[in-house]
Amino acid sequence: MKRKIITLDNSKCNGCGQCASDCPEGALRIIDGKARLVGDLLCDGLGACLSSCPEGAIFIEEREAEPYDERRVMENVVPQGQAVIQAHLEHLRSHLQTAYLRQALEYLQERGIPVDPATDPGPAQQASALSHWPVQMHLISPLAPHYRGSDLVVAADCVAYALEDFHSAHLRGRTLVIACPKLDSRQESYTEKLTALIDEAEIRSIRVLIMQVPCCGGLLRHVTEAARRAQRKVPIECLVVGIAGGILGEVPVDVSA
């Protein structure tokens, strides 16, 4: 899947090791005198290590990477002691990563590891990442200025209710349109609007989020048909959300005629 993750410029890295020391998740190690990302699934992509590097050799990019695995991270964090555990929990809370925070607390509870009540971050309230209105496909205008040059999320109506980190993981920094391919009427206009978003608004990319139910496939069909009609080509990815929450996987997108 495509997500934000750190990248290292080895031409700038002097091997000081500060970033590795400041990464309790265990994603960074010093190998052959240079900092290395040893596992995509250990890096949450939040960039806490950026300020650790005196040479500016660490930056964040969005690329294909293994999904972050909070339970694997906790296997590295716990042996480092209570102070590191609390720092990691606070790190998740301060970045509004409520789903990962819950997983971390469940991991600690399963192993009988106490969390200091005075510093237990608890479940953080997630801030909205919605930057514009309206968002329903029938109501949006492809010529609205907020869409121009943006990364677009096309989401089925139910996605935001099922996916706990919808705002923080998928909507932040992106624009949005929503639709229901089963209940909405006059859906022929959806393909036209999506085509206009690609060609006229010159969006940079499309992330489609659909539920695992069969009817949601209609939303991806609107997007792929629009991509076929459009003069411009943009990268498209489609993620499937489970009815119990969480990303189940990615669906291949074929825009060939």
- Is the Cα dihedral 236, 237, 242, 245 positive or negative? negative
Which CATH number covers residue 16? 3.30.70.20
Same domain, 95 and 193: no
In tens, the pLDDT along 155-183 reads 999 999 999 889 988 998 999 999 999 99
Kindly state whether residue 45 falls inside one of the protein's structural domains: yes
Confidence of residue 123 (pLDDT cuts 50, 70, 90): low
Same domain, 101 and 178: no
Q: What is the mean pLDDT of residues 11-15?
A: 90
Overall number of domains in the chain: 3
Confidence of residue 207 (pLDDT cuts 50, 70, 90): very high
Kindly state whether residue 230 falls inside one of the protein's structural domains: yes
Confidence of residue 125 (pLDDT cuts 50, 70, 90): low
User: For position 182, what pLDDT does the model report?
Assistant: 92
Q: Single out the residue in 110, 137, 172 at which a domain terminates.
A: 110
* Residue range(s) defining the domain that contains residue 47: 2-64
% of the chain beyond a pLDDT of 70: 95
Kindly state whether residue 115 falls inside one of the protein's structural domains: no
Contacts (Cβ under 8 Å, ≥6 apart) of 74 = 88, 103, 104, 107, 108
Same domain, 57 and 84: no
Q: What is the pTM of this model?
A: 0.56
Kindly state whether residue 137 falls inside one of the protein's structural domains: no
User: For position 250, what pLDDT does the model report?
Assistant: 93
Kindly state whether residue 129 falls inside one of the protein's structural domains: no
Same domain, 58 and 99: no
User: For position 211, what pLDDT does the model report?
Assistant: 97
User: For position 122, what pLDDT does the model report?
Assistant: 53
User: For position 27, what pLDDT does the model report?
Assistant: 85
User: For position 88, what pLDDT does the model report?
Assistant: 86
Q: Which of 25, 231, 40 is nearest to 8 (CA)?
A: 40
3-state secondary structure of 120: coil
pLDDT at 83 over 90: no
Kindly state whether residue 130 falls inside one of the protein's structural domains: no
User: For position 76, what pLDDT does the model report?
Assistant: 86
pLDDT at 1 over 90: no
Spatial strand order of the sheet with 151-156 comes to 175-179, 151-156, 205-211, 236-241, 247-251
Confidence of residue 140 (pLDDT cuts 50, 70, 90): very high
Longest dimension (CA), the chain: 61
User: For position 121, what pLDDT does the model report?
Assistant: 54
Kindly state whether residue 187 falls inside one of the protein's structural domains: yes
pLDDT at 116 over 70: no
Kindly state whether residue 140 falls inside one of the protein's structural domains: no
